[in-house]
Amino acid sequence: MTNRPLARKELWDIATTQHGFVTAQQATDMGVGKHALQMLVHRGTLERAAHGVYRFPQYPVGEHDNLMLAVLWTRVPEAALSHETALDAYGISDVNPNRIHLTVGKRRRFRRAGGDEYVVHYEDLAPTQIGWWQEIPTVTPVTAIAQCLAYGTPTYLLRQAIERGHTQGYIKTDDRDALAEALEARHD
């Protein structure tokens, strides 16, 4: 008879890569049943953070936990921080979004409780358009600026993002020039 690792240990391994969070779907994928998950909650090993998302309370609280929770709240694998939230995360603009922007695939449709703090955008992104920021899936700075161009983010904030992004090495010269041209064309 082989010894199966404890559900807590298996889920902890996932949670350490997600700011202490784990989803019910991830638990199911690992063979941790709904009953076992509920027992972990009942014992205080896990806390419910949102519908279908749990957090290990002993995992250190971090500054960006709310952003990781937002991505996991969608419960879709391609979800990523985007638009003004991505610009703010990378620190290339003084934009101060009042809600967390997320992008999921065009064909995704869902209704979830607790999403009042989120703006969900529907766009099919190529794998090259998604990167990682603080271990959280986040669109690249070039993609974020392009999204904000279409979204209507103020011009001065986008000029700032283009220049700071280039100065900080996030944006190549060709991309900077193309984004600047697109920004000016938006006003013609």
Nearby residues of 150 by Cβ (< 8 Å), 6 or more positions away:
none
Three-state DSSP class for residue 64? coil
* Cβ proximity of 55 and 47 under 8 Å: yes
3-state helix, strand, coil in the chain (%, to 5): 45, 15, 40
Q: What is the pTM of this model?
A: 0.90
pLDDT at 1: 44
Q: Which residues in the chain land under pLDDT 50?
A: 1
